[in-house]
Structure 1
């Protein structure tokens, strides 16, 4: 009889663990014992306020362009008001740049665009950045780093499950079956904070959110970069050669095509089509030196070979353009990977011209 009871002990332990885990479903307890939010989570939490502000602008007859991308798109944030060529577009227009996140990837962009739709906001046009570095499985800033920062809801986990590889699918299943694992729940912290009526320490949340929701930076004319042919030998070495090497080590090391990141780019395109979001998928211009270095690693021209197959030629919502094809006159660079902020008006004008070709852009 005693032997039979011993055999049942593991089942009792599993049952107790399972029941304790289900207690974490109680929102108050979960908030008391979960891990404090990290930067990726803070971004997603801050977005609903951003979309509400944008909806208010639209209600006042202002067109809203959402700029989503990495530091190459972040240069849009350097302008409090981007001058738009009247021959391209007349009327009030606002460029929403708070959805540009330095050193980011398509996984986070997909979650951001999902939050936009969930909030009931549809931009008049979306400028979605395409950069070859984001398709490197071994990019230091790939989905792997953001995944560790996020605590996603069950519906979000189920949605992204098919796009991930087997390793991360197993993690998603673990997060779905065990809520405490998903929220990095600490029982001691949870009980202590619940008794005291406190929640998890969110100091990092407020710091990150305050930074994320900041006002646009005024253009600093002292740091607008250098013309293509005007670099001194030292500037060329520091800003072009050495910076290209640092980019190669961070973003292009052991370059392997990422099925996961490409999968999320595909989901973004599908989402834009399903929700009739006018979208310009654009490739930012980089310095010729870095462009050749990158091409020697990736093969180059990935916007055409990988991006274009995702877009129906008869799409009423999406168009593509590479600014590495001599489509702009601006030849001023901050470094090998980024054009100067003074190029932004011309870039915005060019992308708006492409947007005007989209049937659903009004």
Structure 2
């Protein structure tokens, strides 16, 4: 008889674990025992406040252009007020730059744009960056690194499931089946905080991050970069040759086309179409030296071969432009991968000119 009972022990243990895991579904307990937010999660948590501020700008008859991209788009954040050429666009424009995250990827951008729609905010135009580095499966800052920082809700996990490869789909299923695993739940911490009436939200990290995101960072004119033909040999080696090598090691190492990142770029485009969000998919300018290095690794102009096929030429919401094809006059570079903040007014003008070709842009 005792021996027969032993056979039930594994089932009893599994049932107990499953029952405890379901207790984590109780919001108060989950919030008490989950892992503290990391940087990627903090960005997503803070965005609804950003979108509310943008809605206020719109209510004051100011157009809002949301700039979403990596450090190449982050230069917009170095202007408190970007002067807009009145011959291009007469209405006042506020450039929302807090959705530009250095060393980021399309996976996070998709979640950010989803957050925007869920908050009931629709920008007057979205400037979405296209950079070949984001399509490298082995990019140090790919979706794999952000995935470790995030604790997504069940509806979000279900939404992104088809875009991931089998390995990540398997992990998503585990997260859906076991809530405690999804939220990195600590029973000891959960019980302790629950008794004390505390939650894992009781930290100061997000406050500091929110302050950073909200504050514009006017650039120092002394660090505005160097004209294309005025680099000294020392500066050229440091800013162009050596920096290109660092970019190759971080972003272009073992270059393999990422179906996952490209899948999330597709989802962003589809989301813009479905919600009638005027969008300009644009490619930032890089230094000719780095352009040739990148081309030798990626195999060519991915903006043309991968970007354009995503957009219907007759789309009422989306247009494309590459600024890496001689479409700008600004030839000042901070390094091989980034133009000077001095180029921002001209870049903004080019993007707004392109936006005016969009039927649903007003």
| TM-score, L = length of structure 1 | 0.99
Contact kept, 8 Å, 1:240 with 1:336, in 2: the verdict is yes
1:222: how far off? Answer: 1.1
1:324: how far off? Answer: 0.6
1:95: how far off? Answer: 0.3
User: Aligned with 1:229: secondary structure?
Assistant: coil
Contact kept, 8 Å, 1:311 with 1:318, in 2: the verdict is yes
User: Aligned with 1:203: secondary structure?
Assistant: coil
- Hey, what's the Cα distance between the residues in 1 that align with 2:201 and 2:115? 24
Alignment partner, residue 357 of structure 2: 357
Q: Structure 1: which 4+ aligned runs deviate by more than 2 Å?
A: 201-214
1:206: how far off? Answer: 2.4
- Hey, what's the Cα distance between the residues in 2 that align with 1:101 and 1:126? 15
Return 197-206 or 21-30, whichever deviates more: 197-206
C-alpha spacing 1:202/1:307, structure 2 compared with 1 (3 Å): farther
- Hey, what's the Cα distance between the residues in 1 that align with 2:205 and 2:316? 39
| TM-superposition CA deviations, 1:224-247 (whole Å, max 9, x none) | 000000000000000000000000
1:201: how far off? Answer: 6.0
- Hey, what's the Cα distance between the residues in 1 that align with 2:212 and 2:117? 20
What does residue range 63-74 of structure 1 map to in structure 2 within 5 Å?
Answer: 63-74=63-74
- Hey, what's the Cα distance between the residues in 1 that align with 2:210 and 2:148? 22
- Hey, what's the Cα distance between the residues in 2 that align with 1:23 and 1:124? 43
- Hey, what's the Cα distance between the residues in 2 that align with 1:125 and 1:46? 21
Return 179-188 or 209-218, whichever deviates more: 209-218
- Hey, what's the Cα distance between the residues in 2 that align with 1:15 and 1:235? 65
Contact kept, 8 Å, 2:136 with 2:252, in 1: the verdict is yes
1:212: how far off? Answer: 3.9
Contact kept, 8 Å, 1:319 with 1:358, in 2: the verdict is yes
Contact kept, 8 Å, 2:46 with 2:210, in 1: the verdict is no
| TM-score, L = length of structure 2 | 0.99
Contact kept, 8 Å, 1:36 with 1:204, in 2: the verdict is no
C-alpha spacing 1:39/1:322, structure 2 compared with 1 (3 Å): same
Contact kept, 8 Å, 1:227 with 1:333, in 2: the verdict is yes
C-alpha spacing 1:306/1:204, structure 2 compared with 1 (3 Å): farther
- Hey, what's the Cα distance between the residues in 1 that align with 2:202 and 2:305? 44
How many residues are treated as equivalent by the alignment? 362
- Hey, what's the Cα distance between the residues in 1 that align with 2:166 and 2:214? 38
Return 47-56 or 199-208, whichever deviates more: 199-208
Could you list the runs of 5+ residues in structure 2 that have no partner in the other structure? none
C-alpha spacing 1:273/1:29, structure 2 compared with 1 (3 Å): same
Contact kept, 8 Å, 1:51 with 1:119, in 2: the verdict is yes
- Hey, what's the Cα distance between the residues in 2 that align with 1:89 and 1:10? 69
CA RMSD between the two structures: 0.9
Contact kept, 8 Å, 1:333 with 1:340, in 2: the verdict is yes
1:299: how far off? Answer: 1.2
C-alpha spacing 1:202/1:212, structure 2 compared with 1 (3 Å): farther
- Hey, what's the Cα distance between the residues in 2 that align with 1:204 and 1:313? 47
1:219: how far off? Answer: 3.0
Contact kept, 8 Å, 2:69 with 2:102, in 1: the verdict is yes
Contact kept, 8 Å, 2:70 with 2:103, in 1: the verdict is yes
- Hey, what's the Cα distance between the residues in 1 that align with 2:5 and 2:212? 57
User: Aligned with 2:321: secondary structure?
Assistant: strand
C-alpha spacing 1:45/1:313, structure 2 compared with 1 (3 Å): same
- Hey, what's the Cα distance between the residues in 2 that align with 1:209 and 1:108? 17
Contact kept, 8 Å, 1:38 with 1:204, in 2: the verdict is no
Contact kept, 8 Å, 1:281 with 1:321, in 2: the verdict is yes
1:4: how far off? Answer: 1.7
Contact kept, 8 Å, 2:31 with 2:201, in 1: the verdict is no
User: Aligned with 2:214: secondary structure?
Assistant: coil
| TM-superposition CA deviations, 1:134-170 (whole Å, max 9, x none) | 0000000000000000000000000000000000001
C-alpha spacing 1:265/1:204, structure 2 compared with 1 (3 Å): farther
- Hey, what's the Cα distance between the residues in 2 that align with 1:27 and 1:246? 44
